[in-house]
Amino acid sequence: MKTIPWFAVITGFYLIAVSPVQAGCDPEGPPDKFRLQDSWEVKDQEFLGVAKFSAACDELLVCYGDASKPKTICDRIFARSIKQECRKTFHLHADALNACERKTDKSVEFVEKENDAVYRKGQRLARANEREAERKQRAADRKTRADERRKHRAAYQRTLEPKAE
């Protein structure tokens, strides 16, 4: 399982701060409310398929950590991703498709309405990372200017020294 190197892990769509983040949806959490596992399958007399949601969960976490993205955009991307996964997996089975979409509707609703604190935390972290990168760039620029001044001062000092003949 890949690791996303920042701030939270989804546990039944309750996000908990840890570092580093384990990618994907976690099967723990309230069993009947917002649970979205890594995969969801329909067991019938014939095997219909497995919808895998871990990529959508990873994408949501990454989007929340992007300072340029508003929450509504991240939430829409997440909703579209999990709905597409349902459609891709169960497109030939209307009952299974409807059941899968009903399962994901609760998760989408939770993310849209209840996930503000997690989004804000991700945005704060993204802005902090941007500020840190800017600070490091300014420090590198200062060091470069100081090195240039030292070179010029050394060259000037060499011009002042008497030449031995």
CA-closest candidate to residue 90, choices 55, 58, 35, 43: 43
Asked if residue 55 lies in contact with residue 38, where contact means CB atoms within 8 angstroms, the answer is: no
pLDDT for residue 117: 78
Domain boundaries, the chain: 3-160
Per-residue pLDDT tens digits for 68-85: 989 999 999 999 998 999
pLDDT for residue 39: 66
| Mean pLDDT value of segment 76-102 | 88
pLDDT for residue 140: 96
How far is residue 86's CA from residue 93's CA, in Å, rounded to a whole number?
Answer: 10
Asked if residue 69 lies in contact with residue 59, where contact means CB atoms within 8 angstroms, the answer is: no
pLDDT band, residue 49 (cuts 50/70/90): confident
pLDDT for residue 1: 42
Other residues' Cβ atoms within 10 Å of the Cβ of residue 3: 12
Total-model pTM: 0.63
Q: Which two tokens stand for residue 107?
A: 């998760």
How far is residue 51's CA from residue 128's CA, in Å, rounded to a whole number?
Answer: 36
